[in-house]
Amino acid sequence: MRLSSQRFAAGTMGMNGGTSRRRRRQEAVAMVLAIATLAAVAAAGEQQEASGVNVTAICLSTPYPGACRTALSSSGSQAAKDPFAASVQFAMARAASARALARNLSSASSGRRGALPPSGMDDCAELLDVSHGQLGDALAAGSTHDATTWLSAALTNQDSCADSLDAVPASAGREGVRRRVGALSEFIGTALALHAKLKGASATPPPSPSPNRTFPSWVSDHDRKILESAAGGVTPNAVVALDGSGTHGTIGDAIAAVTSAAMAPVGSSKAGVGAGRKVIYVKAGRYEESVRISSRQRNVMLMGDGKGKTVIVGHRSAADGYTTYASATVAAMGSGFIAKGLTIINDAGPGKGQAVALRVGGDLSIVYQCDIEAYQDTLYTHSNRQFYAEDGISGTVDFIFGNSAVVIQNCDIHPRKPRQGQKDTITAQGRTDPNQNTGISIHKCRIAAASDLGGTKVYLGRPWKAYSRTVVMESSLDHSITPAGWLEWSGQFALSTLYYGEYGNSGPGAGTSGRVKWGGVHTALSTVEATRFTVRDFILGDSWLGDTGVSYTSGL
């Protein structure tokens, strides 16, 4: 290095004057550039310092300031330009890392389990994969309501994973996943808070042209015609029959066949409702199988011959080693899911604990003219936006639960006889964060005791999670509803943070004078407050259910 410098110096000793002047000009230009560079560096430093102050201030307004600072400080200048996008991208990276670990642990243990029930680690591997896609969708969302929905669902997945991990034997691997999931919950909660703060709430949807419409408008014309038709009037993509007269003998085989060429892109949870609808006609009969529709199997419709005719039966339960998540007879995580004319049963019985009949986590899902029957945890409205109409739902403990944004309308809800010593609770809503746009809305339904209920006390609900939110509106409540109305989960847990509302109900169980006096219980919602939980406002149904021949109420 030094020798090269000497050679360069010797070679310039004999330069003429023109060369010297040219060199001086070059040196002057270099000096100007150096000064400009120093000024730019100084300005960048000042800007970075100012951005740091802004990031700190923003993070102080979130529920997890430490997680917020970690996410944004790793994003450099992008955090200053778009803190929300930076937080989501950071959460996506963490979700991918947690997913990889859960998958490895799930694969390693699957061989050892053999024929045993799936592990809670399997649940986590699936839920983390779904979460990664939902975070990407939220980042690219075209509306604030969509983004909030998908972030809310991704956060719900972490809570479901954590619940399933309780069933996994203690190990370093389990605790490693638990730590990652706990941290990821904070990062997603940060993104949700930043979205609420920086992007604002969803714009108020346009008024419905009529308070009484057919299916909400996110149902396409194609789907509307299918829902209006009897099974014989639809040309299905597959037919399931027990007598060999169909294209398939099991529902699972039919789902695999119709979705094999139409799988959603990896990492996508968007519905695209109506596009590529796959109709599976399930002929009358009793089908004993566990039906699974994955998050990548979109726009699947299961159409039966009617309640009590096409019956799907499962037997999985907590007592037999299944997690609540894995116990479902039918589980639909693909967006755009529709079920019509089915009876879905988990017959594990009241003594076997959690035993789900139907779990739905697909966005923009519809369950129409179905019966859903079990005991504890009958209907798991897991996540995303859902609509139920003209269904029968029966169970005992927490038999409508989950953390979706769901409207249950014009349905018959039947509390039935539980295990000895138990009380019946109709709902157990699982909202964990005040920024989630989730909750259970029971609207224009009929709540009446099943014939075997006897003298069992029945409550409208209890708070499964800290920000549990449930409303019962314009419904008939029979004598089985206890005057207190709502039941605590454990001591004082969530009593000051929950939101329980009643509006315009009728019947002997609708009186509110004896209701519990918790701060979060609203026994006389105003019309304005109640409107927030209608099809039109709560799930923006008029934008995705469409104009169909089946009546529903958009507003109050």
pLDDT (tens digit, 9 = 90+) per residue, 417-457?
999 999 999 999 999 999 999 999 999 999 999 999 999 99
> Residue type for 246, please?
G
pLDDT > 90? residue 312: yes
Q: Which two tokens stand for residue 386?
A: 């859902």
Task: Please report, to the nearest 10 degrees, the dihedral formed by the alpha carbons of residues 166, 362, 292, 548 taken in order.
Answer: 150
- What CA–CA distance (Å, rounded) separates 373 from 57? 50
Q: Please give the C-alpha separations between residue 250 and each of 80, 182, 286, 288, 373, in angstroms, as whole numbers.
A: 54, 39, 11, 9, 21
The predicted model gives 59-67 an average pLDDT of 95
Provide the strand spans (E) within 252-374.
278-282, 285-288, 291-293, 300-304, 310-314, 330-332, 338-340, 343-346, 358-360, 365-368, 371-373
Q: How confident is the model at residue 12 (pLDDT cuts 50, 70, 90)?
A: very low
Per-residue pLDDT at 264: 47
Per-residue pLDDT at 425: 99
pLDDT > 50? residue 6: no
CATH number of 68-199: 1.20.140.40
The predicted model gives 109-124 an average pLDDT of 77
Q: How confident is the model at residue 410 (pLDDT cuts 50, 70, 90)?
A: very high
Average of per-residue pLDDT values in the chain = 86
Which positions are annotated as active-site residues?
398
For residue range 130-176, what is the model confidence (pLDDT) as tens digits? 999 999 999 999 899 999 999 999 999 999 999 999 999 888 899 99
The predicted model gives 332-360 an average pLDDT of 97
pLDDT > 50? residue 193: yes
The predicted model gives 214-230 an average pLDDT of 68
The predicted model gives 356-363 an average pLDDT of 98
Q: How confident is the model at residue 226 (pLDDT cuts 50, 70, 90)?
A: confident
Question: Range with the lowest mean pLDDT among 18-22, 283-287, 462-466, 529-533?
Answer: 18-22
- What CA–CA distance (Å, rounded) separates 167 from 320? 12
Per-residue pLDDT at 74: 87
How, if at all, do strands 300-304 and 291-293 pair? Answer: unpaired
Q: How confident is the model at residue 257 (pLDDT cuts 50, 70, 90)?
A: very high
The predicted model gives 370-392 an average pLDDT of 98
- What CA–CA distance (Å, rounded) separates 439 from 461? 12
In DSSP terms, 92 is beta-bridged to none
Residue with tokens 């919950």: 185
pLDDT > 60? residue 177: yes
pLDDT > 50? residue 22: no
Domain ranges (residues) in the chain: 68-199
Q: How confident is the model at residue 203 (pLDDT cuts 50, 70, 90)?
A: very low
Q: Which two tokens stand for residue 494?
A: 């969530």
pLDDT > 60? residue 77: yes
pLDDT > 80? residue 111: no
The predicted model gives 389-410 an average pLDDT of 99
For residue range 315-325, what is the model confidence (pLDDT) as tens digits? 999 999 999 99
CA angle, 245 then 251 then 256, to 5°: 110
Per-residue pLDDT at 112: 62
Q: How confident is the model at residue 547 (pLDDT cuts 50, 70, 90)?
A: very low
Q: Which of 486 and 6 is assigned the larger pLDDT?
A: 486
pLDDT > 50? residue 265: no
Per-residue pLDDT at 37: 35
Question: Range with the lowest mean pLDDT among 10-19, 21-30, 38-47, 199-208?
Answer: 38-47
Neighbours of 330 (CB within 10 A): 27
